Amino acid sequence: MYSVSVDGGLAGKVTIVSKGLKKCRGSPVCVRASVASTPLRVKNQQLKIGDSEKTVRIGVLGASGYTGAEIVRLLANHPYFAITVMTADRKAGQPFGSVFPHLNTQELPNMVAIKDADFSDVDAVFCCLPHGTTQEIIKGLPEQLKVVDLSADFRLKNIAEYEEWYGQPHKAPKLQEEAVYGLTEIYREEIENARLVANPGCYPTSIQLPLMPLIEEGLIELRNIIIDAKSGVSGAGRGAKEANLYTEIAEGMHSYGITKHRHVPEIEQGLSGVANSKVTVSFTPHLMPMSRGMQSTIYVEMASGVTTDDLYHHLIATYKNEEFVKVLGKGVVPHTRHVRGSNYCLLNVFQDRIPGRAIIISVIDNLVKGASGQALQNLNLMMGFPENTGLQFQPLFP
Amino acid sequence: MYSVSVDGGLAGKVTIVSKGLKKCRGSPVCVRASVASTPLRVKNQQLKIGDSEKTVRIGVLGASGYTGAEIVRLLANHPYFAITVMTADRKAGQPFGSVFPHLNTQELPNMVAIKDADFSDVDAVFCCLPHGTTQEIIKGLPEQLKVVDLSADFRLKNIAEYEEWYGQPHKAPKLQEEAVYGLTEIYREEIENARLVANPGCYPTSIQLPLMPLIEEGLIELRNIIIDAKSGVSGAGRGAKEANLYTEIAEGMHSYGITKHRHVPEIEQGLSGVANSKVTVSFTPHLMPMSRGMQSTIYVEMASGVTTDDLYHHLIATYKNEEFVKVLGKGVVPHTRHVRGSNYCLLNVFQDRIPGRAIIISVIDNLVKGASGQALQNLNLMMGFPENTGLQFQPLFP
Amino acid sequence: MYSVSVDGGLAGKVTIVSKGLKKCRGSPVCVRASVASTPLRVKNQQLKIGDSEKTVRIGVLGASGYTGAEIVRLLANHPYFAITVMTADRKAGQPFGSVFPHLNTQELPNMVAIKDADFSDVDAVFCCLPHGTTQEIIKGLPEQLKVVDLSADFRLKNIAEYEEWYGQPHKAPKLQEEAVYGLTEIYREEIENARLVANPGCYPTSIQLPLMPLIEEGLIELRNIIIDAKSGVSGAGRGAKEANLYTEIAEGMHSYGITKHRHVPEIEQGLSGVANSKVTVSFTPHLMPMSRGMQSTIYVEMASGVTTDDLYHHLIATYKNEEFVKVLGKGVVPHTRHVRGSNYCLLNVFQDRIPGRAIIISVIDNLVKGASGQALQNLNLMMGFPENTGLQFQPLFP
Amino acid sequence: MYSVSVDGGLAGKVTIVSKGLKKCRGSPVCVRASVASTPLRVKNQQLKIGDSEKTVRIGVLGASGYTGAEIVRLLANHPYFAITVMTADRKAGQPFGSVFPHLNTQELPNMVAIKDADFSDVDAVFCCLPHGTTQEIIKGLPEQLKVVDLSADFRLKNIAEYEEWYGQPHKAPKLQEEAVYGLTEIYREEIENARLVANPGCYPTSIQLPLMPLIEEGLIELRNIIIDAKSGVSGAGRGAKEANLYTEIAEGMHSYGITKHRHVPEIEQGLSGVANSKVTVSFTPHLMPMSRGMQSTIYVEMASGVTTDDLYHHLIATYKNEEFVKVLGKGVVPHTRHVRGSNYCLLNVFQDRIPGRAIIISVIDNLVKGASGQALQNLNLMMGFPENTGLQFQPLFP
């Protein structure tokens, strides 16, 4: 039914590079053009599917929140994913465009209550529901569905830890065992073979991407890792709360959840995993007067004899073939505005005044690489597509 | 479900569908898939070229300003346009990514001074230079180059008017005669055949799109057209001015250029043209504490016997097949945030309390439909591509 | 060195000489000499303790909203008014500083439910409650209390009009007859003798101050008065609404309540009153991405033979002795940021391009001159104090 | 020196003045005596005209920047200080109100070039000039003038350190010896007797107020003090720089001056002084998308056996009688918006997840307690007035 045949592709001479790019490993159609000035522009032509069974029918559960809307925005230009079901319990029956007018130029199915959703027409779902309820809903989905869950419900491998931080027993411990943690660049192979991916939190994404390789390589000490993180307000979602009114947020800032933010166990789980040792971090998030964007400023002690250059070069080496994680040139400071609306994570390392210490800066868009973008990156892999499919927007600035 | 058959991709042989969409009227390569829920997603697959000579080599003159950067952002995902030359006199020699770090993941030519630019490798240019100097530079370009000029230099057909409003004689009156005014939806056919397009100003775009059809149809009076317009600060460019500092703009607003804004003659030229009669408008722009976005709130007297419904339906009819101009549902208020980062123009009409009057609201992103997006829409047409090529991003919200 | 003797000052018994703050630390009866040197947290107690006929005991009803908090901010430095009762039904029992931490350096009575408030200790109240409920509450207050009501409940003289716009019968029509409309500069004498003042809405204040004198003098036509108004978000109050979240407001703008805003009848009542003829205006409010500030851009037709200079000079003459209403120098554009946090209204008049028309610009801080500041100005008058008492802050910029 | 005698003071019997001001017309008790009822534009004249030994004549050097304007704002309500000279080299001859329209309701002397300023009519100056030039200018002032210098020029006691960080030799080493560091709450007694006060930087103020008492008491370790500081943009001044445009700052954030910010030596000098030992700190400032406000989030190791409660109680004890430094209730998080426009510094202490560590949060308004407010606090002391004179505004929120 869906028949696309492309002869030649762009620019004739395209010579399929791929340089053993990690992200292409399992892909049936991994192509990598060598075009000088615009690496992005050949993307969609390369990625070809020959028949309709390659079209993936997507359900978006919890479509009326910001991460749901962001999924819809990203899929608008995805060549293989088509949304067939959208749920939003409190806005059931409403057209999506009335809830998110910025997306009202798309033709989309009306939103339904999740209990009324028909999943017979769905191959994979993005689950954008609140934690707690998510577990049972995913448990109730048809087993053949691939699932990327953006909630916190399947991120903590240790069920007891979940109960401690979320104050309730875990309702789907079996699924928890099956879930793969979706930090794409680190766990790519497991994700490719996963049925259920627990998409990482925004803070943990921005923190683990720089720290995991450094810890694994033994370049930094496990003690006294101090993380001062800053986030835009969209991370708090679209719920009507006094504290998130424009008047309460604009032109001011503050710390919140000091020592108690629920992303702490997720961060410590990840770092402890690569350290093979319990890591306890200092983590203080701050709410910024901006909608999108997240920066983690991370203060570390280097292992004996290690220099900031060593950290820098190890991150360069780790991410040199990654499309979405970029270590900037020496001394160049990442800004959150330089990733707004995009799936990039920008990193850099700076020498501290205190000898033996280094400062690591990491920025992402909390709704993209910190949520829906990484979720799409993961589902691309799970469905056998190049992970950058539909994700190659440039940041929006100013 | 999805039935698309593309043979050979774009470029002549494409033979598809299109349902007679207006925008395809004159296009040599009109492509239009009938995909139910995701019209955007099949785009790039359909548009195929078979060989390198179909790649258009683009020069961006004045690449270090916001409209230049926006051209670069938009072209990053354009399947046929590749940037080969970038100029920026004061930043010559610098890599583009050091001037606009949000675009530093692209491989782009370094910027050169315009006098050092080699145009032998260029098919078309976007000219993002300041008014005044633009005329001579375009006059000096090789004649075979297609040009979309984003400055005000070729917008006013009447040379005397240019001199009155810009305080200097016009230096390329011959070119002025040749220039086609690039309000895409209104002058599409002339644009397709143009070599030099004068891209409209942001305010005139937002104002003429709703008013021209209504005036042409005789639905509104020519007298007492009152336009209260609001713009984000990016319209003022990237020049370092005290008045545009964050501290001077945030959390406040003001009118500026009252009765004297240089977009006035452009607006009046357009309206007078369709009216066949001199139209004088009241135009008061306001500077908003936001980076992007523009709204024109337009207060009009309706012609005798005309109702707001008549205005509404005429706009609906005029734009029903347009991809980028949308008349919203009755009573739905356009917001600037609903077009941020996208090429859409959203319109609506409201009844006034004063009998016989109506209120028309129009919103665009001043840097996209109001500048670089419309410029790309125009160059697409000039080069024989579907005008939406590379322009199908969804707005970024929040 | 520093010798101050105060007889009969603030707290009657004050007799002190104190040499700087530090020296007060050990002193059991350390009192600052001037008003300026009294720590705020002590002020209200002193005023209460002091000579009661000199001190006005104030109740703030509905203290947990923005206008209530603004009253508290303004009274902090008021030499004669001391807050003795604060009510907030939903936050009863809470200390005010926990609801508005920016005011937590003052010592204030805890908030109580209105039904539990003891008014025996109160001379006057600011009523900052929602419309509708306000009527009955004011009806139930002791008769000797002076009242400034910041709600809309007593602004419309015509009870029928209230019912039409607010959708419910008026519950205190007798009080309505007694209420004086508190547009200070226009109705000063009535206000001085009033017991109940209906404090004007923010939009009506910004609009009537320039238009009333011009209409009264017959300088502008009554037809086709077009008001394009812009407001900061604080006007919407502190209620938790999705539409007012930071993420929904920042970096964008939109019109709202087109032709239906409830300030319309208030504006038309005022203008019709001075016109002795029914005036119908076009009024379109816009929500700005800023917390405070309001601008009305008003488009008018001048009466035959009248010039913008005539308008300008009449406004100059009208307000030349006013402290809070200022007509700027010719051509100087008022900005909302130039009145932020202050009780000023800045005005100016501009010639329009359309012959015979003029553009009037008026800016205020919606929470000060548009609400709590004007309320205090009124109560000062009602209690026999100079109206500027406690209101002479300069605007806060940047 | 200053002898103020107030007879009758504020109270009821006052029956004065009014000069036929319109607003007093019908008032039964028209009062015009108190500071509060004097129109601001008359104030400076009155003070000048009045009993001269009661009035301090003030010069503001560098009045066209934000700290200069803030001095003017604060002095508008000061009962004893009157501005008689204002300088601004590049804006000489201009009325102050044309440079800062938000202050145009005051009557102020026109600005003059500093070389043309007549200091015979001046008792004290606030010096708001850029570092470097300040030294020579202050050296050239009449010796009897009291001076509060807001630049960095006299903050570093060690001349060699000045030269290292500012890249030029110090031009007034003698004055440097005389200068007193103006961190009011810490050095109050020295300030009272000083002729030249070096007003602290904004970051150092926010950092030293919490850390100095804790270090002095030996409660925290001197090693590994990590300061992650966040500032509004007004700290960068009013100079026209591309990097500080609204479009470059809004909706994003970034670190800057990592390890190299010029406030580092000032901070380390202060901490080392109380420690009697060289302290090296990690200090990373971040630029926030907001005009005013500063937060320092400080990560410290506690001395052996010390708890966060110990830190908390020591800060409480240190500042319990201070009007402008407040330690909040346990667990209450300081927000920058809670001090906007005011001279307060809010502090709190939080336990860290890492045993033995604590997190200290300090917020100020960078232009008030971080600059002009503290400068006024200091000059009040130097002139023998209570230090809070003219400084008791409440914060402006929202």
Shortest Cα distance from D389 to chain C (angstroms)? 5
Cα–Cα distance, D47 to D55 (Å, whole number): 6
Q: Please check whether residues D109 and D173 belong to one and the same domain.
A: yes
| Res. A8: pLDDT tops 60 | no
Residue D333 neighbours by CB under 8 Å, 6+ apart:
A254, A255, A256, A258, D348, D361
D-contacting chains (≥3 CB pairs under 8 Å):
A, B, C
Residue of D nearest to A254 (CA): D335
Name the residue facing D36 among C188, C251, C389 (closest C-beta). Answer: C389
How remote is the C-alpha of D268 from its chain's centroid? 20
Alpha-carbon radius of gyration of chain D: 22
| Res. A32: pLDDT tops 60 | no
Residue of B nearest to C356 (CA): B224
Among candidate residues D30, D127, D128, D202, the one labeled active-site is D202
Could you tell me the pLDDT band of residue A48, with boundaries at 50, 70 and 90?
A: very low
Q: Do B394 and A73 touch (CB under 8 A)?
A: yes
For chain C, list residues whose CB is within 8 angstroms of any CB belonging to chain A. Answer: 66, 233-234, 238-242, 244-251, 289-291
Predicted confidence (pLDDT) per residue in C131-147, tens digit = 988 999 999 999 999 99
Q: Please check whether residues A148 and A263 belong to one and the same domain.
A: no
Q: Do D246 and B251 touch (CB under 8 A)?
A: no
Examine residue B398 and say whether the peptide bond preceding it is cis (omega within 30 degrees of 0): yes
Q: Please check whether residues A219 and A352 belong to one and the same domain.
A: yes
How remote is the C-alpha of D80 from its chain's centroid? 18
| Res. C119: pLDDT tops 60 | yes
Could you tell me the pLDDT band of residue A300, with boundaries at 50, 70 and 90?
A: very high
Please state, rounded to an integer, the average pLDDT across all residues of chain D: 89
**Residue A10's pLDDT is what?**
30
Residues of A with CB below 8 A from C233's CB?
Answer: 245-247
Looking at the DSSP bridge assignments, the partners of residue D366 are none
Predicted confidence (pLDDT) per residue in A97-118, tens digit = 999 999 998 889 999 999 999 9
Contacts by C352-355, CB closer than 8 A, 24 or more apart: C352/B259, C352/B282, C352/C299, C353/B259, C353/B264, C353/B280, C353/B281, C353/B282, C353/B283, C354/B223, C354/B224, C354/B226, C354/B280, C354/B281, C354/B282
Please state, rounded to an integer, the average pLDDT across all residues of chain A: 88
Cα–Cα distance, A18 to A237 (Å, whole number): 38
Cα–Cα distance, D152 to D155 (Å, whole number): 5
Name the residue facing C393 among D10, D32, D393 (closest C-beta). Answer: D393
Q: Do B249 and D246 touch (CB under 8 A)?
A: yes
Cα–Cα distance, B91 to B111 (Å, whole number): 7
Name the residue facing B264 among C256, C353, C363 (closest C-beta). Answer: C353
How remote is the C-alpha of C281 from its chain's centroid? 23
Could you tell me the pLDDT band of residue C50, with boundaries at 50, 70 and 90?
A: very low
**Residue A54's pLDDT is what?**
75
Q: Detail the DSSP E strand segments found in chain B.
A: 4-7, 56-61, 81-87, 111-112, 124-127, 146-149, 180-181, 196-198, 226-231, 254-255, 282-287, 294-301, 325-327, 345-351, 357-364
CATH of the domain at D284: 3.30.360.10
Range of the domain at D177: 22-200+371-382
A-contacting chains (≥3 CB pairs under 8 Å):
B, C, D
Name the region of A157 (left: φ>0; alpha: ψ -120 to 50; beta: rest). Answer: alpha
Least confident of A273-277, C8-12, D162-166, D388-392: C8-12
Q: Please check whether residues D148 and D247 belong to one and the same domain.
A: no
Alpha-carbon radius of gyration of chain B: 21
**Residue C259's pLDDT is what?**
84
Segments in chain C forming alpha helices (H): 40-49, 66-75, 96-99, 133-139, 159-166, 173-178, 184-192, 202-216, 246-249, 264-275, 308-319, 373-382
Average pLDDT of the segment spanning A161-166:
95
Residues of A with CB below 8 A from D251's CB?
Answer: 232, 290-293, 337, 340
Looking at the DSSP bridge assignments, the partners of residue B9 are none
Please indicate, yes or no, if residue A395 is contained in any of the structural domains. Answer: no
Percent of chain B with pLDDT over 70: 87
pTM of the model: 0.90
| Res. D83: pLDDT tops 50 | yes
Could you tell me the pLDDT band of residue D159, with boundaries at 50, 70 and 90?
A: very high
Residues B2-18: b if buried by 16+ CB within 10 A, e if exposed:
bebebebbbbeebebbb
Please indicate, yes or no, if residue A393 is contained in any of the structural domains. Answer: no
Q: Do A253 and D334 touch (CB under 8 A)?
A: no
Q: Is the dihedral of CA C41, C43, C45, C48 positive or negative?
A: negative
Shortest Cα distance from A280 to chain B (angstroms)? 34
Please indicate, yes or no, if residue C394 is contained in any of the structural domains. Answer: no
Q: Do C394 and D106 touch (CB under 8 A)?
A: yes
Name the residue facing A291 among C233, C239, C250 (closest C-beta). Answer: C250
Residue A317 neighbours by CB under 8 Å, 6+ apart:
none
| Res. A18: pLDDT tops 80 | no
Reduced to 3 states (helix: H, G, I; strand: E, B; else coil), residue B25 is coil
Residue of C nearest to B246 (CA): C398
- Give, as one character, the DSSP assignment of residue A372: I
Residues D309-344: b if buried by 16+ CB within 10 A, e if exposed:
ebbbebbeebbebbbbbbbbeeeebbbbbbbbbbbb
Q: Do C240 and A238 touch (CB under 8 A)?
A: no
| Res. A22: pLDDT tops 80 | no
Dig out the tokens for A108 from the structure: 């989309």
Could you tell me the pLDDT band of residue C38, with boundaries at 50, 70 and 90?
A: low
The count of structural domains within chain D is 2
SS3 content of chain A, % helix, strand, coil (to 5): 35, 20, 45
Q: Please check whether residues B286 and B221 belong to one and the same domain.
A: yes
Q: Do D386 and C10 touch (CB under 8 A)?
A: no
Cα–Cα distance, C305 to A217 (Å, whole number): 85
Residues of C with CB below 8 A from A249's CB?
Answer: 246
Predicted confidence (pLDDT) per residue in D359-395, tens digit = 999 999 999 999 999 999 999 999 999 999 999 999 9
D258, D262, D265, D270 alpha-carbon torsion, rounded to 10°: -110
| Res. C198: pLDDT tops 60 | yes
| Res. B390: pLDDT tops 90 | yes
Q: Which of C207, C225, C228, C287 to mutate to test the interface with B (most CBs of B within 10 A)?
A: C228
Please indicate, yes or no, if residue C345 is contained in any of the structural domains. Answer: yes
Cα–Cα distance, A108 to A96 (Å, whole number): 7
Shortest Cα distance from C288 to chain A (angstroms)? 11
Please indicate, yes or no, if residue A343 is contained in any of the structural domains. Answer: yes
Residue of B nearest to D233 (CA): B247
| Res. D173: pLDDT tops 60 | yes
Least confident of A10-24, A221-235, C324-338: A10-24
| Res. C18: pLDDT tops 50 | no
- The values of phi and psi at residue A315, to 5°, are -70, -40
| Res. A223: pLDDT tops 90 | yes
CATH of the domain at D170: 3.40.50.720
Q: Do D30 and C395 touch (CB under 8 A)?
A: no
Dig out the tokens for C243 from the structure: 């539409």
| Res. C282: pLDDT tops 50 | yes
Q: Do D338 and C189 touch (CB under 8 A)?
A: no
Q: Please check whether residues C68 and C12 belong to one and the same domain.
A: no
Q: Please check whether residues C231 and C330 belong to one and the same domain.
A: yes
Least confident of C103-107, C262-266, D35-39, D76-80: D35-39
Q: Do C321 and D37 touch (CB under 8 A)?
A: no
Q: Do D240 and B238 touch (CB under 8 A)?
A: no
Name the residue facing B291 among D239, D241, D247 (closest C-beta). Answer: D247
Nearest to D295, CA basis, from D241, D245, D340: D340
Name the residue facing A291 among C239, C241, C246 (closest C-beta). Answer: C246
Average pLDDT of the segment spanning C309-338:
98
Cα–Cα distance, B297 to C228 (Å, whole number): 8
Q: Do B2 and A7 touch (CB under 8 A)?
A: no
Examine residue D398 and say whether the peptide bond preceding it is cis (omega within 30 degrees of 0): yes
Could you tell me the pLDDT band of residue B13, with boundaries at 50, 70 and 90?
A: very low
Q: Please check whether residues C285 and C332 belong to one and the same domain.
A: yes
**Residue C53's pLDDT is what?**
59
Name the residue facing D389 among C37, C189, C326 (closest C-beta). Answer: C37
Could you tell me the pLDDT band of residue B53, with boundaries at 50, 70 and 90?
A: low
Predicted confidence (pLDDT) per residue in B282-330, tens digit = 999 999 999 999 999 999 999 999 999 999 999 999 999 999 999 999 9
Strand-pair category, A196-198 with A146-149: parallel
Residues of A with CB below 8 A from B100's CB?
Answer: 397
Q: Do D284 and A359 touch (CB under 8 A)?
A: yes
Q: Do B76 and A394 touch (CB under 8 A)?
A: yes
Predicted confidence (pLDDT) per residue in A266-275, tens digit = 999 999 999 9
Residues of B with CB below 8 A from A41's CB?
Answer: 75-79, 81-82
Name the region of C8 (left: φ>0; alpha: ψ -120 to 50; beta: rest). Answer: left
Residue D104 neighbours by CB under 8 Å, 6+ apart:
C326, C328, C338, D95, D96, D97, D98
Residues of D with CB below 8 A from B246's CB?
Answer: 233, 244-246, 248-250, 289, 291
| Res. C238: pLDDT tops 80 | yes
Percent of chain C with pLDDT over 90: 84
| Res. B138: pLDDT tops 60 | yes
Average pLDDT of the segment spanning A327-332:
97
Angle at A334 between CA A331 and CA A337, to 5 degrees: 150
Please indicate, yes or no, if residue B390 is contained in any of the structural domains. Answer: no
**Residue B259's pLDDT is what?**
85
Q: Please check whether residues A347 and A235 belong to one and the same domain.
A: yes
Please state, rounded to an integer, the average pLDDT across all residues of chain C: 89
| Res. B181: pLDDT tops 90 | yes
Name the residue facing C233 among A234, A242, A247 (closest C-beta). Answer: A247
- C24 catalytic? Reply is no
Residue of A nearest to B46 (CA): A4
Cα–Cα distance, B383 to B395 (Å, whole number): 26
Average pLDDT of the segment spanning B185-212:
98
Segments in D76-183 forming alpha helices (H): 96-99, 133-139, 159-166, 173-178
Shortest Cα distance from D246 to chain B (angstroms)? 4
Predicted confidence (pLDDT) per residue in B116-134, tens digit = 999 999 999 999 999 988 9
**Residue C331's pLDDT is what?**
97
Q: Please check whether residues C165 and C210 belong to one and the same domain.
A: no
| Res. B14: pLDDT tops 70 | no
| Res. D258: pLDDT tops 50 | yes
Q: Please check whether residues B1 and B37 belong to one and the same domain.
A: yes
| Res. B46: pLDDT tops 60 | no
SS3 content of chain D, % helix, strand, coil (to 5): 35, 20, 45
Q: Do D290 and B250 touch (CB under 8 A)?
A: yes
Cα–Cα distance, D108 to D101 (Å, whole number): 12
Q: Do D291 and B249 touch (CB under 8 A)?
A: no
- The values of phi and psi at residue D308, to 5°, are -65, -30
Q: Which of A10, A17, A324 to mutate to test the interface with B (most CBs of B within 10 A)?
A: A10
Predicted confidence (pLDDT) per residue in D106-118, tens digit = 889 999 999 999 9
| Res. C8: pLDDT tops 80 | no
Residue of B nearest to D287 (CA): B246
Name the residue facing D76 among C4, C24, C394 (closest C-beta). Answer: C394
Residue of A nearest to B292 (CA): A398
Nearest to A335, CA basis, from D290, D231, D229, D254: D254
Residue of B nearest to A41 (CA): B77
Higher-scoring residue by pLDDT: D25, C123? C123
Q: Please check whether residues B241 and B344 belong to one and the same domain.
A: yes
Average pLDDT of the segment spanning C278-291:
98
Residue of D nearest to C9 (CA): D9
Question: ipTM score here?
Answer: 0.89
| Res. C36: pLDDT tops 50 | no
Shortest Cα distance from C11 to chain D (angstroms)? 10
Average pLDDT of the segment spanning A237-251:
97
**Residue D259's pLDDT is what?**
85
Cα–Cα distance, C11 to C46 (Å, whole number): 6
Q: Which of A353, A361, A396, A397 to mutate to test the interface with D (most CBs of D within 10 A)?
A: A353
Least confident of B358-372, C34-48, D9-23: D9-23
Cα–Cα distance, D14 to C394 (Å, whole number): 26
